[in-house]
Amino acid sequence: MKRKINFFRRGSAILLICILVLPALLLAACGGKSMKGSKYLGKWNAVSAEMSGMEFAVSDFMDEFSFVFKEDGTCEAHIDDEVEKGTWEETENGVKIKDSTDTMDLTDKDGDLYIEYEGVSFRFEKEGKEGVKSGSSSKTESETAAGSTSANSTTATGSTSSVVSGSHSETEAVDNRDTSGTHLEMKLWDIYYPEGWTENEDYKGDSETNSYGRLDYKQGEETLLAVSISATVDNCNDYRDFLYASDIDAHALAVEKTVEQKKVGGVPCVFTETVSWGEPVLTYMGRDVGSGTTVKVSVSGEYTDPKVDQLLGNLAFHLEDTGNEDYPWPWEGEAFTVDGEHSKMIADTTITSAWVPIEEPLLAHDIFSGRMAAVGDKVYILLDNVLYEYALGDTLTLKNTMKLDDDYEEISADQNGNLYLAGFMSPMLTVKDGQILASNDDIDNAVIHSSGTWGLSWFFGSEPEKVVFNGNKASKEAWPAFSNESINTVSLSENHIFIAGEDPDTQNEAIWVLDTEGNQQMELGNQEFGGEQSLGSITHIQETANGFIGLDGNMRNLLFWKNDGSFLGSAEDGELFGTNYPWISTAARLPDGSVLVGMAEDRADNSATEFIVYRVSGF
């Protein structure tokens, strides 16, 4: 099955996240404890970034993204010309970078370091690390064939719990190969490449669980074709994320067997045609369940060139069946459920939550994307660029869905029942009763006041601007009331503006409470890590009759303040909801004063992530 997707936005998102990683790692410049003798000393360069199953070279987006770890426990973070200093320490699993409010872990996997940040995985290689050398094979063709353990030879007709069965045909992928070229041999695959192709020494690594490399076909200094090959022993999440990002129906693939696949190196693979930075890209992705291995081959350039098929015909994956079993597919897994109500005393107030089941489980692919708005007895959920309308009762009953063509990150509602959908580089939509009433460009991330007459637009790295309306036409104008550029989110109530972000003086996360004229009323949080109201990453602030509720995505908790700004306490997700580390992202106040809180929670069997909703009362 082929899907044409323009990944310009996805590439832009990775570039933006690279930029955001640096301020997320801002550390005190004082020295740390001695790291003399640590194997992590030296410079580590980001070489690749993976998002929704798609892999990109970091060099495509910037000149440098690296860390330098020093013996005295200090470190430097470099993004192009920007440099920040900080502290680090070695841990059991890799490296921990710490500042006064937060920590970030770099996980060691087969000698490389990985950061997971905002849905993107960055891989760092140590500078000067000895590369994998290639040369002509010392084995004869028959020895290679006898010694290989290639992926199975079945088509997409296996069981419902796997796309490939995990059994292996040892000779199929290698019997017909042309072995006259140069032999590149890795632990999980090998390939013979003919004259004209060269190995890219900057993109190569090999271990028992991760083998990757790239071959380039050049004309002078210009790269005409680039073929990246990888095999990674890991869970099935990257493979399933790729299916979703490529608009490939997983049920049609695994159960109905109606999705076209092509064998690459002996592994049945789905494939997509995309465009990245103006270049055509053909990507093959396969999953060998028995070995627990995801394989990927990406071809950049004119992939219809016969040289590509000639090259890939000489590729074989070598995957050992270890008896691995992948997670259940979403339709096989056990949906989220929780028993009874949960409550916690906050100061002298009992806060109670009750799970509100959604008629059909609502699966979340981007866990950060969930947003909610409520109008009367209607609840609207914005998730993965789909707008869902529900009727609220004991359960949420689906009434309507609207698939959106652009990327949307925020939803707000006014007193007339109009919805406003906004997102960076996407036109702001005004929607009512399932119909788009207006589309306004150049608004970016924004929330609109319940009056429907104004709102605020913001983007990290720029000062907020006011959104004004002339009929259905919306535009932005300067808003000098607030000059901080480090804004993470903005929430509006009837009488207040809530701005959450980093205080440039203290580098602590804070919430500034302003009246609707832009006059600051109070400041919440802004304490160093470990303080009773220190904040991680605020995703939403909801005003109630008794005060303010802050949703902290990073800390997985809710914080409560009185109307005068005095802090009452906090409740962790497990205490108040009975959940296990969800991303808490959104809230909406109901007419009776209770608050709906939405979050993304992994199922216990890892078959899916669900967007779930609780009704919080008592505050």
- Per-residue pLDDT, 60: 65
Distance of alpha carbon 426 from alpha carbon 385, whole angstroms: 11
16 burial via Cβ count (<10 Å: 0-12, 13-18, 19+)? middle
From 96, 126, 156, the end of a domain falls on 126
Nearest alpha carbon to residue 431 among 394, 397, 405 = 405
- Per-residue pLDDT, 166: 40
Asked if 355 contacts 343 with a C-beta cutoff of 8 angstroms, the reply is no
295 shares its domain with 150: yes
Domain assignment present for 528: yes
Domain coverage including residue 22: 4-126
211 shares its domain with 151: yes
Out of 62-66, 106-110, 423-427, give the one with best mean pLDDT: 423-427
- Per-residue pLDDT, 146: 29
169 shares its domain with 112: no
Count of all residues that appear for the chain in the document: 619
What angle is formed at CA 595 by the lines to CA 519 and CA 568, rounded to 5 degrees? 65
Distance of alpha carbon 177 from alpha carbon 191, whole angstroms: 9
Least-confidence region, from 36-45, 143-152, 341-350: 143-152
pLDDT tens, 475-503?
999 999 998 888 999 999 999 999 999 99
Average the pLDDT over 46-57 and give the result: 74
pLDDT tens, 81-95?
677 777 888 888 888
pLDDT tens, 196-223?
999 998 889 999 999 999 999 999 989 9
93 shares its domain with 218: no
Residue 570 has pLDDT above 90, yes or no: yes
Average the pLDDT over 390-397 and give the result: 96
From 103, 126, 149, the end of a domain falls on 126
Average the pLDDT over 428-436 and give the result: 95
Average pLDDT across the chain, whole number: 85
- Per-residue pLDDT, 150: 36
Q: How confident is the model at residue 151 (pLDDT cuts 50, 70, 90)?
A: very low
- What is the number of domains present in the chain? 3
- Per-residue pLDDT, 92: 80
Domain assignment present for 276: yes
Asked if 346 contacts 550 with a C-beta cutoff of 8 angstroms, the reply is no
116 shares its domain with 17: yes
Domain assignment present for 187: yes
Least-confidence region, from 43-52, 259-268, 329-338: 43-52
What strands, in cross-sheet order, belong to the sheet with 538-543?
A: 538-543, 547-552, 557-562, 567-572
Least-confidence region, from 16-20, 25-29, 86-90, 142-146: 142-146
Average the pLDDT over 148-153 and give the result: 34
